Structure 1
Amino acid sequence: MSWLKALKHTARSGLTVERQRLEPLIAARGALGLAIVVGVALHFFGPAVAVSSAFGAFQAALATFQRSWRTRPVLALASGASLAVSTFAGYLTGGHPALFITLLAAWTFLAGMAWAVGPTAGMIASSNVAIMLVTVTLPTSVSAAAGHAAMIMVGGVVQATLIVLLPVRRWGAQRDALADALAAEADYARRLRHDPVAPFDPEPLMTARSAAAITPRQARRRPAELHGTRGLAERIRPVLASLADPALGVPAEGEERARVRELLAAAASTLDAAARAVRHGEPVVMSPAATAVLALPKEGAVLSGPARRAESRLINLLRDVVETARGTGTTDTGRGAPQEGGPQYRAAAHAAQEAARKAARKIGGRPEHRADPVDHLRRPTVFGLFPVALRAMRGELRRDSPVFRHALRVAAVSATGYAVGTALPLGHGYWAPMASVMVMRPDFSQTYSRAVARFGGTLLGVTLATGLVQLAHPGTELSAAIAVGCAFLMFLLLRTSYAVGQACVAAYVVFLLGMGGLQWTQTVPERVLLTLAGGLLAMLAYAVYPAWETPRLRTRLADWLVADGRYASAVLQRYADPAGAPSDAVRETLLATREARVAWKGAVERAANEPVRHRGLSRSAAADAPDALAQLARVAMLMEAHLPARDTRPVPAAAALAEALRTDVDEAARAVRERRAPEWDAFRAALAAWDSEDTAGDDKVVRKGAGLLLEALDELTDTLDAEGPRPKGNAARTGGT
């Protein structure tokens, strides 16, 4: 993509307004906290302190709108405390320009490195630096600076207190994440009825997993319906795929396929019902048709063998989902059933669960156990997060790290912008570095789109604010009230567009500083010009010292290949040694595969907007290689759905296949990074050796799955081979055995 096209695309995306679900109650709560802080400070301490406290309350409320699984009071307190410290330290050095610029560079470098911890930490740290540039100009003495810092902290405390006193949909984000995961699996089940090899995006499951990580204190308060359901949803997905896929499941047509379609429809209905119950905290309402289909037949079963085991496993898992994803009660038809929590319901649920487990054992399946409610994914506390954050930032201290390069860029730009803004005869030179810090992100697309959006939003906001000032000539109290109204609009429309949010912020700042005695003629012109200068500095810095994603696409692809290969190897190793293989190896490698896939997807999206020619990976290869890797992971998942129990007889040949695959994948990853086509000689030889042996009693799932794995690997080679398709050898024959 050329620079002109890249600039046009980023400008268009920065000015785009999206339709999002508005949250007026949360926006009103943030504005109420701001109004309380401003009103009290204005009444008792005067306009200057009111402005400082307003910035603290505004930043604390803004932090609670970030996409984080931390509790909102914690985010508000952390934001208020960090801004207070930043303001006080900045004021102490403000009288010495060289020392202040040094502190600013160091502070912004740390804020840039905070992106290593996550987007929430990065955005809060960047906002703190930007607001600190304004608040350090307000105090007139050290004691006054301490008072301003204290009032900023009070703003965070007030916002946190309001969140506790006026809760809005507690655990709402976690409920939505889990419900979205269940709904995604319901949609997957429906698509499998018509397309047995339909793809599935694991991102909703990954989001639900992130949302499920909680601190010990949260574990004591988590709603009952959020216990265990995510783990059940994770185990349902491979079972659905194994039932639908003709390669390892049932034939594409016939009576067995009709039964599978019925099961998939019932699973979709059940998962949708569970998603609605989790999202709204309501009873689970099962349809009579789904209940009838999910009744495990005692006689005359249509399915047999692995498909029969998958059927019983799916039914058992769905019953556990219904039991765990509960609200105040559950019904099978919406009426006439025992209410959940009562003795009749508990007895019926226990009897149904035990019957399903006995049936599963009778036909050779593995009984599924519901997750222990006490067991949960651990999230470090706020103080426990510090060593985690330090390790994450230390891991990014290398030249090729996008986070490290971003930290260097933003530090250099903030210092340069402050020096330039101070030297210009405009006054309020902090507007330039503040704009730079707020728009700069570790990737090109966000930095350029936000720079355009910030300037456009600032121009619109100050124009509207100036017109209102000229018409109304507001005094101190009215300016404060209008500023609070602008903040409410910003909180309400924050997620619709960055440009719209910046328009509200620009008007907010104009009225807030007007409350402190500054006339619009003293703030508006320089704010527009210096915001433009700060945005141009940010864009120039990325062009001079970029961190392009395009040249790293091969590395991302190799990482995904390694993750997929290790996942498939772990599955094969489980067949080779059911009793001795680590119980969590398959699960850990599956999670690594999902992370690598999401990392690749994000890299491709960022690279698509970069003004860089491809280096080593063509557009066609970038489009086709993911299909081969997705198929590789999918075959491993199908094999995982039929994993043997601990007391099952081992499949010795699977050990050789697992070792050969690990060897080939490590070498293939190096080949991909070095722009060579990967080879699979060891795995092909191990599979050929197994074919030549008399192994009639070996597991057919492993034999067929290994052939499908080789087909996926050969497809990847064909995609990356610049000299054209290569012979597949015996891949076609082994794939059909």
Structure 2
Amino acid sequence: MSWLRALKETARSGLTVERRRLEPAIAARGALGLALVVGFSLALFGPAVAASSAFGAFQAAIATFQRSWRPRPTLALASGASLAVSTFLGYLTAAHTVLFLALLVLWTFLSGLAWAAGPTAGIIASSNVAIMLVTVTLPTSVATAAGHAAVLWGGGVCPAALVVHPRLRRGGPTRDPRAQGGPAEADYARRLRHDPVAPFDPVPLMTARNAAAVTPRQARTRPAELYGARGLAERIRPVLASLADPAVGVPEEGPARARVREVLGAAGEVLDAAAHAIRHGEPVVLPPTAQAALRNPDTVTILRGPPRRAALRLVALLDDVVETAEPRTETAGTKETAGAAAGPVGPAGAGRRVHRTRPTLIGLAPVVLAKARAELRPDSPILRHAVRVSAVAAAGYLLGAWLPFGHGYWAPMASVMVMRPDFSQTYARAVARFGGTLVGVALATAVVQSAHPGTYLSAALAVLCAFGMYLLMRTGYAAAQVFVSAYVVFLLGMAGAGLGQTVRDRVLLTLVGGLLAMLSYAVYPAWETPRLRGRLADWLASVGAYAAVVTARYADPAGPASPDVREALLRTRAARVAWQEAVARATHEPVRHRGLSHAAVEQAEHALAEFGRVAMLLEAHLPEHGAPPVPAAATLAESLHRSAERGAKDVRERREPQWDDLRETLAAWSAAPPDHFLLDKGAVLLLGCLEELTTALAESGRRR
């Protein structure tokens, strides 16, 4: 993609306003917390302190809107505390340009490394730097710096308290993601009716898994119906695939296929009903037609062999889903239900639910430090982002101080807020920031200059702008930026600062900051396109290991229960999502493919997705504990493991992968195939997928 086209695409993306479900009640809660903080500070301490506390409350409320499964009060308090430390140090060094510049470089570098811990940490850290640039310009002295820092932290206490009381919906932050697996699999079941080999996007199940990890506090307050649903959704997916696939199920046409379509449609309705019950905490209401279809005795008479077993297993799993989704009643400190779908229990029959634990923020510190340390390598996108953002912040600060506009912090603030570790987001946000600032500052300044609002009216207008930002922040960065820019104008006007600055000056400084951010990525990029082969190799190695682990279970079904199958599946999903995200980022990069054409990317992705689907079919029919072993499966597992490792190495080194080990194994089976219909067919299908991958890479090499 050329630079001109890349700029056009990112600009269009940045200015797009998406249609999202608005949540005015949650936005009003955030604005209410801000209003309480501003009003209290104005009444007791005056406009300057009120402005500081307002920035703290604003930032803390934004932290609670971030996509995180941690308790929202914890995020608000952590955001307020980190902002207080940043601003306190900024106050101490603001009078000395060299010291403040050194602090700014250090703080922005650390905020760039914070992206190693995830988007939430990166956004909060970047916002802390941006707000520090604003708050240190407010009238104060070193003697009162600690007081202002305490006020900033106190500004985060009110939003944290309002997140807890009142609760708009018990368990709300995790209900929606935990329920996402149901609609995703319901849609999958309906698509399988018409396309028996339809693909499945694992992202909803991965999101549900992340939401399932809880801290001790969350475990004590989690509604009981949120237990168990994710595990059942994980078990249903391979059963749906095996029931629909003609290679291991019923023919593509005929009475058996019609029966399968009816069962799949009914399964979709049941999964939707269960997801609705989980999301809203209501009893499950099943459509009578779905119940009749699942209980139809024709299923047993028409279907034979593996399809019959898959259908019966699907019905049993759907019963468990309905039972799990029913809201529990709490009596005598316990959660009770008519069934026993409480999920796994603890040792010695104690009835204690086992859940995925999440470390506290303090316990997470060593993990974050280890991740940040791992990014300290020349080819790391996170390290490159940290270097870029620190250099741009320093350059923007010096340039803003040199330009004759005053309030030069608008330039570095714009740079810090728009810069992200990847090209597309940085350029899209730079365009959106400029457009939103142009509109927001123009409207707010027009109001200030025409109405001349006093302190309290400026505070009220700032709260109103904060409400608009909270309401529209998920619809796009440009729409939210309109209200953020106006919020800063009214807040500084309340404190008696910045009223004389013109629209032209603020917009020009924002434009300077955005251009610096865009130029820095062009000069010191971290392109994703050259790393696509490495991402593809990682996916190949992980999905090959998953197929090998599944196949090995056929050779030793009497062995201990193996969590390695589950772990291999999770690694495969993570590698697949990393590949898809890399492809999405590379799509708009002005870089040549360097070995992977767009056609090769699509064909290779299809090949490995199909390889994973075949491995999932094998997992759906794993033998029961104590079933007779299939000795040939051990040979196939070893062959799959070696082939995947060698193939991944070949992909990384830009060679065409070969699958001689797997071909030799299948050739040896021609005389004496294994005594298992699915294993024999599955091995052939797996080899076909790998050969399709080789074809895709070979054609891409010829096009270079």
Superposed CA deviations along residues 57-83 of structure 1, whole A, max 9, x for unmatched, are: 111111111111112111111110100
Aligned in 2, Cα 1:473/1:532: closer, same or farther, shift over 3 Å? same
1:714 to 681, 686, 691: 691
Q: Which whole-Å CA distance do the structure 1 matches of 2:413 and 2:300 have between them? A: 73
Trace 1:413-562 onto structure 2 (pairs within 5 A).
413-522=392-501, 524-562=503-541
Alpha carbons 1:510, 1:524 under 8 Å: kept:
no
Aligned in 2, Cα 1:406/1:519: closer, same or farther, shift over 3 Å? closer
AA paired with 2:75? L
Aligned: 1:376 with 2:355: yes
**Counterpart in the other structure of 2:97:** 97
**Counterpart in the other structure of 2:134:** 134
Aligned in 2, Cα 1:659/1:296: closer, same or farther, shift over 3 Å? farther
Q: Which whole-Å CA distance do the structure 2 matches of 1:70 and 1:176 have between them? A: 15
Matched position secondary structure for 2:98:
helix
Superposed CA deviations along residues 146-175 of structure 1, whole A, max 9, x for unmatched, are: 010011011101111112222222322321
Q: Which whole-Å CA distance do the structure 1 matches of 2:170 and 2:442 have between them? A: 39
Please list every run of 5 or more consecutive structure 1 residues that lacks an aligned counterpart in the other structure: 330-340, 354-368, 726-737
Using the TM superposition, give the Cα deviation of residue 510 of structure 1 relative to its aligned residue in structure 2, in angstroms: 0.8
**Counterpart in the other structure of 1:309:** 309
Q: Which whole-Å CA distance do the structure 2 matches of 1:170 and 1:438 have between them? A: 33
Trace 1:662-673 onto structure 2 (pairs within 5 A).
662-673=641-652
2:622 to 634, 643, 648: 643
**Counterpart in the other structure of 1:186:** 186
AA paired with 1:103? L
Trace 1:388-403 onto structure 2 (pairs within 5 A).
388-403=367-382
Q: Which whole-Å CA distance do the structure 2 matches of 1:393 and 1:519 have between them? A: 38
Alpha carbons 2:138, 2:497 under 8 Å: kept:
no
Using the TM superposition, give the Cα deviation of residue 256 of structure 1 relative to its aligned residue in structure 2, in angstroms: 2.4
**Counterpart in the other structure of 1:252:** 252
Using the TM superposition, give the Cα deviation of residue 370 of structure 1 relative to its aligned residue in structure 2, in angstroms: 4.8
Aligned in 2, Cα 1:553/1:118: closer, same or farther, shift over 3 Å? same
AA paired with 2:407? H
Q: Which whole-Å CA distance do the structure 2 matches of 1:585 and 1:118 have between them? A: 26
Q: Which whole-Å CA distance do the structure 2 matches of 1:634 and 1:581 have between them? A: 25
AA paired with 2:489? V
Aligned: 1:680 with 2:659: yes
Matched position secondary structure for 1:520:
coil
AA paired with 2:695? D
Aligned in 2, Cα 1:69/1:477: closer, same or farther, shift over 3 Å? same
AA paired with 1:721? A
Q: Which whole-Å CA distance do the structure 1 matches of 2:252 and 2:210 have between them? A: 37
2:586 to 590, 607, 618: 607
Q: Which whole-Å CA distance do the structure 2 matches of 1:724 and 1:141 have between them? A: 65
Q: Which whole-Å CA distance do the structure 2 matches of 1:614 and 1:283 have between them? A: 52
**Counterpart in the other structure of 1:733:** none
Alpha carbons 1:421, 1:431 under 8 Å: kept:
yes
Using the TM superposition, give the Cα deviation of residue 580 of structure 1 relative to its aligned residue in structure 2, in angstroms: 3.0
Alpha carbons 2:300, 2:308 under 8 Å: kept:
no
Q: Which whole-Å CA distance do the structure 2 matches of 1:481 and 1:140 have between them? A: 23
**Counterpart in the other structure of 1:619:** 598
Alpha carbons 1:487, 1:508 under 8 Å: kept:
yes
AA paired with 1:605? A
Matched position secondary structure for 2:282:
coil
Count of residues paired in the alignment: 692
Using the TM superposition, give the Cα deviation of residue 690 of structure 1 relative to its aligned residue in structure 2, in angstroms: 2.3
Alpha carbons 1:296, 1:315 under 8 Å: kept:
no
**Counterpart in the other structure of 1:40:** 40
AA paired with 2:275? A
Using the TM superposition, give the Cα deviation of residue 577 of structure 1 relative to its aligned residue in structure 2, in angstroms: 1.4
Please list every run of 5 or more consecutive structure 2 residues that lacks an aligned counterpart in the other structure: 346-351
**Counterpart in the other structure of 1:148:** 148
**Two-structure CA RMSD over aligned residues (Å):** 2.0
AA paired with 2:394? A
Using the TM superposition, give the Cα deviation of residue 524 of structure 1 relative to its aligned residue in structure 2, in angstroms: 4.0
Alpha carbons 2:595, 2:701 under 8 Å: kept:
no
Superposed CA deviations along residues 102-148 of structure 1, whole A, max 9, x for unmatched, are: 11111111111111111111001100110011112225323311010
Matched position secondary structure for 1:686:
helix
Matched position secondary structure for 1:558:
helix
Alpha carbons 2:224, 2:335 under 8 Å: kept:
no
Using the TM superposition, give the Cα deviation of residue 46 of structure 1 relative to its aligned residue in structure 2, in angstroms: 1.0
Using the TM superposition, give the Cα deviation of residue 96 of structure 1 relative to its aligned residue in structure 2, in angstroms: 2.0
Q: Which whole-Å CA distance do the structure 2 matches of 1:519 and 1:388 have between them? A: 42
Q: Which whole-Å CA distance do the structure 2 matches of 1:216 and 1:299 have between them? A: 45
Superposed CA deviations along residues 632-691 of structure 1, whole A, max 9, x for unmatched, are: 000000000000122111111111111111111111111111222110000111121122
**Counterpart in the other structure of 1:701:** 678
Alpha carbons 1:215, 1:380 under 8 Å: kept:
yes
AA paired with 2:206? M
Q: Which whole-Å CA distance do the structure 2 matches of 1:476 and 1:416 have between them? A: 34
Aligned in 2, Cα 1:321/1:299: closer, same or farther, shift over 3 Å? closer
Aligned in 2, Cα 1:585/1:299: closer, same or farther, shift over 3 Å? closer
Q: Which whole-Å CA distance do the structure 2 matches of 1:530 and 1:96 have between them? A: 22
Using the TM superposition, give the Cα deviation of residue 300 of structure 1 relative to its aligned residue in structure 2, in angstroms: 5.7
AA paired with 2:402? A
Q: Which whole-Å CA distance do the structure 2 matches of 1:513 and 1:257 have between them? A: 68
Using the TM superposition, give the Cα deviation of residue 582 of structure 1 relative to its aligned residue in structure 2, in angstroms: 6.0
Q: Which whole-Å CA distance do the structure 2 matches of 1:464 and 1:426 have between them? A: 20
1:598 to 577, 582, 604: 577
**Counterpart in the other structure of 2:319:** 319
Superposed CA deviations along residues 558-604 of structure 1, whole A, max 9, x for unmatched, are: 11111110110111111111233661111111111111111111111
Alpha carbons 1:232, 1:370 under 8 Å: kept:
no
Matched position secondary structure for 1:620:
helix
**Counterpart in the other structure of 1:280:** 280
Using the TM superposition, give the Cα deviation of residue 445 of structure 1 relative to its aligned residue in structure 2, in angstroms: 0.6
Trace 1:206-225 onto structure 2 (pairs within 5 A).
206-225=206-225
**Counterpart in the other structure of 2:610:** 631
Q: Which whole-Å CA distance do the structure 2 matches of 1:268 and 1:694 have between them? A: 37
Q: Which whole-Å CA distance do the structure 2 matches of 1:629 and 1:522 have between them? A: 57
Q: Which whole-Å CA distance do the structure 1 matches of 2:299 and 2:401 have between them? A: 85
Using the TM superposition, give the Cα deviation of residue 17 of structure 1 relative to its aligned residue in structure 2, in angstroms: 1.0
Alpha carbons 1:409, 1:542 under 8 Å: kept:
yes
Q: Which whole-Å CA distance do the structure 1 matches of 2:296 and 2:620 have between them? A: 19
Alpha carbons 2:170, 2:223 under 8 Å: kept:
no
1:654 to 621, 629, 633: 633
**Counterpart in the other structure of 1:198:** 198
Q: Which whole-Å CA distance do the structure 1 matches of 2:496 and 2:673 have between them? A: 92
**Counterpart in the other structure of 2:267:** 267
Q: Which whole-Å CA distance do the structure 2 matches of 1:628 and 1:420 have between them? A: 51
Q: Which whole-Å CA distance do the structure 2 matches of 1:531 and 1:244 have between them? A: 55
Superposed CA deviations along residues 519-576 of structure 1, whole A, max 9, x for unmatched, are: 5223644322211111111000000000011111111111111111011011111111
Q: Which whole-Å CA distance do the structure 1 matches of 2:502 and 2:123 have between them? A: 25
**Counterpart in the other structure of 2:106:** 106
AA paired with 2:570? L
Q: Which whole-Å CA distance do the structure 2 matches of 1:299 and 1:405 have between them? A: 59
Alpha carbons 1:282, 1:328 under 8 Å: kept:
no
Matched position secondary structure for 2:221:
coil
**Counterpart in the other structure of 2:118:** 118
Q: Which whole-Å CA distance do the structure 2 matches of 1:583 and 1:650 have between them? A: 15
AA paired with 2:122? G
2:364 to 373, 385, 390: 385
Q: Which whole-Å CA distance do the structure 2 matches of 1:195 and 1:254 have between them? A: 15
Greater alpha carbon shift after TM alignment, 599-608 vs 94-103: 94-103
Alpha carbons 2:534, 2:652 under 8 Å: kept:
yes
Q: Which whole-Å CA distance do the structure 1 matches of 2:576 and 2:205 have between them? A: 13
